[in-house]
Structure 1
Amino acid sequence: MKQIVILSGKGGTGKTTVSSAFAKLLDDKITIDCDVDAANLY
């Protein structure tokens, strides 16, 4: 099983934007937003 992790300790760096772009490219995969404070992907 391969995993791609987008990680940064600082807010506002574009993690959700990059993650959603990868999710669009990988249509048959599962995308999970694990941001405890402000998950933006559903």
Structure 2
Amino acid sequence: MRVFGLTVPILTLGSISKRWVVPGWRLGWLVTSDPDGILQKSGVGP
């Protein structure tokens, strides 16, 4: 898996509202790893 992580973009989504059962909270995050800049070249990233 390490070889794939060095060549392809990886998107990771996470949230806290479902795990901690906090009604009304909508906390989440998105983390990207794009070592070759593929997302940026295709217009997805900044």
Where on the TM-score scale, by shorter chain, does this alignment land: which range?
A: under 0.3
Higher strand share: 2
Structure with more relative contact order (C-alpha pairs < 8 Å, separation 6 or more): 2
Higher helix share: 1
TM-score in terms of structure 1 length? 0.25
Between Structure 1 and Structure 2, whose CA radius of gyration is higher?
Answer: 2
TM-score in terms of structure 2 length? 0.25
